[in-house]
């Protein structure tokens, strides 16, 4: 009975995320014709990306992240989205178009994807946070957010390491912890395996977004192959099935509560939306790219650098295509990104740096002094690349 209740709560969480994202997707792409897969990917991605940003804005203004405030924030949002979706379904004209039947190869690829998703679900729901980085950088923050309902808690800092045995990283973004605290709020209790179920949605998003992107210029079988490939690489299941079967390990880095899969999803979606804007310069795609870029920056610090690289690439392509006068779309991209992520960047400046990082002082002289080690380091990377069980 408890399992059924937990699954129902997780379905409710997924439904809320979809409704949050669907309303934003419709606001952006109301005048665009999108495939059902594109709409689902955008709705899920925008929901996962914008829900924690909205929660942060609420907390940044000094409000408590209590269940009452969260339902006041997301309840009307979800209700309007559900009404919009219902009206759209009633107006929809269901055609009798017959799609080509799935081939044996396509069925096999779908089986691989479903099997991978089942494995991820079982693994995630069967264990608490089990990797030190997941505990310190992400899980601890989610725990604090759920119990203390604020981003202004001294527990985030833990200067002496008394609470977590190792000092957490204060300046790491709160995107994933806020999302996990929202899942715990919907569940009504702090349940680490249940909280980690957020990762399941990101694995679904990873598969579906890659499929939708491949369908822009590839066949259905090729798109399915790409999606099946991404969920079977050792990196995604690092130290999971490969470690369990081959070397007896029990921990999972990516499925253990880290933010690498969410970061990959958001940056990939940002790049795909930017690419679609380059194909057909419609502002909605560029705004979506900025929103996903902001979500990436709110997921990991590396997301900030990735967004900067994407912005640089857009400028280069813009210039190469001779659009030197049409800078307004790019200013819109930067403006949306700053508007959405600005509160976090301001708040981040008030946080102390990670103590452990203060020991590393890089300089040109230091690089030159250690340059003789580069060949040895390069050979070590090549050796590790050949070790299947060490990927990641």
Q: How does pLDDT run across 199-218, given as a tens digit for each residue? A: 889 989 999 999 999 998 88
pTM of the model: 0.84
Left if phi > 0, otherwise alpha if psi is -120 to 50, otherwise beta: which for 248?
left
Residue predicted with more confidence, 314 or 326? 314
Confidence band of 137 (pLDDT split at 50, 70, 90): confident
Confidence band of 325 (pLDDT split at 50, 70, 90): low
Per-residue pLDDT, 240: 45
Rounded average pLDDT over 21-47: 93
Task: For tokens 């981040």, name the residue.
Answer: 348
Per-residue pLDDT, 291: 97
CB atoms < 10 A from the CB of 306, how many? 20
Q: Where are the alpha helices (DSSP H) in 30-103?
A: 36-60, 67-91
Rounded average pLDDT over 53-76: 95
Q: CA-based angle 266:36:95, to the nearest 5?
A: 175
On the question of pLDDT at 274 being above 90, the answer is: yes
The CA distance from 179 to 194, in Å, is: 12
Confidence band of 389 (pLDDT split at 50, 70, 90): low
Confidence band of 365 (pLDDT split at 50, 70, 90): confident
Residue predicted with more confidence, 7 or 164? 7
Per-residue pLDDT, 318: 78
Confidence band of 39 (pLDDT split at 50, 70, 90): very high
Per-residue pLDDT, 249: 44
On the question of pLDDT at 319 being above 70, the answer is: yes
CB atoms < 10 A from the CB of 153, how many? 13
Per-residue pLDDT, 58: 96
Rounded average pLDDT over 371-392: 75
Residue predicted with more confidence, 132 or 30? 30
Residues 6 or more apart in contact with residue 318 via CB below 8 angstroms: 324, 326, 327, 330
Confidence band of 299 (pLDDT split at 50, 70, 90): very high
- Residue 196 · residue 125 · CB < 8 Å: yes
Per-residue pLDDT, 93: 61
On the question of pLDDT at 367 being above 80, the answer is: no
% of the chain surpassing 70 pLDDT: 81
Give me the phi and psi of 94, to 5 degrees please. -80, 110
Counts of helices then strands in the chain (DSSP H, E): 17, 0
Confidence band of 52 (pLDDT split at 50, 70, 90): very high
Q: CA-based angle 59:355:167, to the nearest 5?
A: 65
Taken in order 76, 78, 83, 84, is the CA torsion positive or negative?
A: positive
Q: Name the nearest CA neighbour of 357 among 175, 173, 170, 177.
A: 170
SS3 129: coil
On the question of pLDDT at 390 being above 60, the answer is: no
pLDDT averaged over the chain? 82
């Amino acid at each position: 009975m408890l399992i059924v209740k937990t699954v129902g709560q997780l379905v409710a969480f997924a439904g809320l995320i979809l409704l949050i994202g669907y309303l934003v997707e419709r606001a952006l792409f109301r005048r665009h014709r999108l495939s059902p897969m594109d709409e689902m990917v955008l709705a899920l991605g925008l929901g996962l990306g914008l829900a924690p940003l909205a929660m942060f804005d609420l907390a940044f203004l000094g409000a408590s992240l209590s269940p009452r405030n969260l339902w006041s924030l997301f309840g009307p949002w979800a209700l309007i989205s559900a009404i919009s979706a219902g009206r759209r379904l009633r107006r929809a004209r269901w055609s009798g178009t017959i799609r080509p039947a799935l081939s044996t190869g396509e069925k096999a690829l779908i089986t691989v994807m479903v099997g991978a998703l089942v494995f991820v679900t079982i693994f995630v729901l069967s264990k608490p946070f089990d990797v030190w980085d997941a505990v310190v950088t992400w899980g601890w923050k989610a725990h604090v957010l759920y119990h203390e309902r604020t981003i202004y808690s001294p527990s985030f800092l833990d200067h002496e390491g008394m609470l977590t045995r190792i000092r957490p990283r204060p300046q790491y973004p709160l995107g994933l912890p806020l999302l996990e605290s929202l899942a715990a709020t919907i569940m009504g209790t702090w349940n680490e395996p249940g909280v980690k179920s957020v990762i399941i949605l990101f694995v679904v998003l990873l598969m579906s977004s890659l499929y939708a992107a491949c369908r822009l210029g590839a066949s259905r079988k090729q798109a399915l192959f790409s999606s099946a490939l991404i969920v079977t690489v050792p990196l995604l299941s690092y130290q999971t099935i490969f470690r369990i079967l081959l070397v007896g390990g029990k921990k999972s880095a990516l499925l253990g509560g880290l933010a690498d899969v969410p970061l990959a999803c958001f940056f990939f979606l940002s790049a795909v939306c930017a690419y679609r804007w380059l194909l057909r310069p419609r502002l909605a795609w560029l705004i979506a790219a900025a929103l996903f870029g902001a979500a990436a920056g709110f997921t990991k610090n590396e997301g900030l650098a990735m967004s900067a690289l994407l912005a640089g690439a857009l400028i280069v392509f813009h210039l190469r295509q001779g659009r030197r006068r049409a800078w307004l779309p790019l200013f819109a991209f930067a403006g949306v990104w700053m508007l959405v992520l600005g509160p976090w960047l301001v708040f981040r400046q008030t946080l102390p740096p990670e103590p452990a990082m203060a020991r590393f002082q890089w300089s040109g002289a230091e690089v030159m002094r250690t340059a003789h080690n580069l060949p040895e380091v390069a050979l070590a990377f090549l050796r590790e690349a050949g070790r299947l069980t060490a990927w990641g």
